[in-house]
Structure 1
Amino acid sequence: MIQTNGEKIFGVLNYVLLTLLSLTMLLPFIHLLAKALSSEAYVLAKDITFWPIGLQFNSFNYVLQNKQFLTTFGNSVFITVVGTFLSLLITMLSAYPLSKQSFPAKRVILFLYVLTMFFSGGIIPTYLVVKAIGLTNTLWAMIIPGLLAPFNLILMRSFFMSIPDALDESARMDGASNTRILFTIYLPLSMSSIATITMFYAVGYWNNFFSAMLYITDRNLMPLQIYLKSIIQNESSVSVGDIEALLNTSPESIRAATIICAVVPILLIYPFLQKYFVKGALVGAVKG
């Protein structure tokens, strides 16, 4: 297809704009990585831009050997993995019947789900409920209150509605139950939607810190984001008793290394889901 001059100019400007936007997102991470890998003297002198000076790995060694970091990291991994799995399961089990025209009162139930997107019970009533059922100071307090996101439910319901009814009817003629139809027909055909929702849930659980501030007081149960918050706010940094760490690195380098270690795990998920991500989001947006 032959492009006009206007289309060529628009294409060039589009690439330039997207490149600049990408740099605004990448450069802060590159700066943090350079700071984490640089020697203490250059960091304190604020000589670091986007390339490490006096390459060293003491900051990462300190972070990855820090007991509090490893504990909070393990808590966040548990919350993210278990929470994402349970959220996906409940979302699929809820979206399937709501995608069927024959399901009674589906409009009322869907309306109640959507209503929670605009109105919630509030922080204090929610806290009282969590406390009453004994979830305070447990990792389940980070998972159970947010198991189902209405937006993700609507997205998956829309994808299920795009699957031809003929597949459902033929399976029922062969004697398949609703459970078998869901797990053997609908889910294999919905991998793009599942990958998209998995990303939404995983990022939400990994970055959640407000729930921990409300429901958890035990330091051994804190997620990584609370530890990261304390590091950034200078509430927790290099231990005074850790002479070796104090001599070989700076608190600023340790903060940078901690941020990098907290961000990289969730970033590693995206390359595996990226090929499904756009398709899943678009189908959920235009169907229903």
Structure 2
Amino acid sequence: MKRNSLAGVVFDAGNYAGLALLAALMIVPFWSVLVSSVTAPHLVMEGAIRMWPKEMTLVAFKTIFNTPNFVKVFQNTVIITVLGTFISMLLSVMLAYPISKKRLAGANLMAFAVFFTMMFNGGIIPSYLLVKSLGMMNSLWSLMIPNAINAFNMMILISFFRTLPEELEDSGRMDGSNDFGILFRIMVPISMPILATLTLFYAVAQWNMFFQAVMYISNPDRFTLQVLLRQLLIVLTSDAVASSLSEDVPRIGVTVKLAMIVVSTVPILLVYPFLQKHFAKGMMLGSVKG
């Protein structure tokens, strides 16, 4: 049905204007940070910021990239993001699928156990003692295993699996598939929208890993990117050691802080285009029932 009436045109124009304004509210601040990070430090300190860099310089990024162990730390962050996300998704799928089957004895009890962890947990000290007793201190495994499953993501996945028709399982069994075959050959392929959405959630959480890294890691070679950037920020605020990084650190400190935001944000943003197609569908799952 064509909307050629004046009311329809006004409605569409209002929608486009609102969406454009919303997009600007999200894009402009980040663009401002990006422009400021490559602008001459003295202009940033004077507040002479424009929508395009003036006296463009990469000194702030050079300061970050020249930080000792930066390459190693960046590699650690990529490892825990990729491997940690894979482990989280594998465990989440293999736990959520059987729990979603009410015919399974104890399924409701296990679902309650998952939900219970959303409300209550042991706390910091028991978690630290558990990781220490397992011998995972100063290991990247301490950043992937203890928080491998997110209870909220689990509840979403369980609810989704319960909406899938049981006839799919029956057809799989008629073809001779076992439970693992049904899960990975039938259920997983048709669940890509929700799986892509949860993959993005897990990947962002792993990439931004900070508190656990500070608590479990003391070896600089095992630091994550967020921890290294925090240490660099502390160094920049200390005049006593600032000269060890750059002759102009006191002046470039403000641009380095902005460059930190770019360095810690852009890599994970590059993942989104590959998941956007499924992510848009996954966010709508459950909102409309046929």
Q: Would the TM-score normalized by the shorter structure come out above 0.5?
A: yes
Aligned equivalents of 2:75, 2:132: Cα separation in 1? 24
Is it true that 1:66 corresponds to 2:67 in the alignment? yes
Judge conservation of contact 2:217–2:223 (CA < 8 Å) in 1. Answer: yes
Residue in structure 2 matched with residue 181 of structure 1 by the alignment: 182
Q: Which residue of 2 aligns with 1:255?
A: 257
Tell me if structure 1 keeps the 8 A contact 2:32–2:51.
yes
Which position in structure 1 is the counterpart of 2:85?
84
CA contact (8 A) 1:192 1:279 kept: yes
Structure 2: distance between partners of 1:86 and 1:241:
40
Which residue of 1 is the match for residue 209 of structure 2?
208
How many positions carry a matched residue from both structures?
286
**Residue number in structure 2 paired with 1:271:** 273
Q: Is the 8 A contact 1:40 1:253 kept in 2?
A: yes
Check the 8 A contact 2:67/2:245 in 1, yes or no: no
The one-letter amino acid paired with 1:271 is P
Partner residue, 1:230: 231
TM-score scaled by structure 1?
Answer: 0.89
Answer yes or no: is 1:107 the counterpart of 2:108: yes
Partner AA of 1:129 in structure 2 = L
Moved more, 103-112 or 166-175: 166-175
Find the counterpart in structure 1 of residue 149 from structure 2: 148
- Output the CA distance in 2 between the equivalents of 1:274 and 1:209: 26
1:240 Cα deviation from its structure 2 partner: 1.5
- Whole-Å separation in 2 of the counterparts to 1:50 and 1:259: 18
Q: Is the 8 A contact 1:75 1:221 kept in 2?
A: yes
Separation (CA, whole Å) in 2 of partners of 1:32 and 1:95: 40
Residue 31 of structure 1: how far off its partner (Å)? 1.6
% identical equivalent positions: 38
* CA separation of 1:19 and 1:259: change in aligned 2, threshold 3 A: same
Deviation of 1:110 (Å): 0.2
Contact 2:102 2:108 in 1 (8 A): no
Structure 1 residues 154-163 or 79-88, which shifts more?
Answer: 154-163
CA distance in 2 between partners of 1:69 and 1:285 (Å): 44
After alignment, is 63-72 or 52-61 more displaced? 63-72
| CA separation of 1:283 and 1:236: change in aligned 2, threshold 3 A | farther
SS in 2 for 1:42: helix
Q: Is there any run of 5+ residues in structure 2 with no aligned partner, and where?
A: none
Measured in 1, the distance between the counterparts of 2:286 and 2:78 equals 28
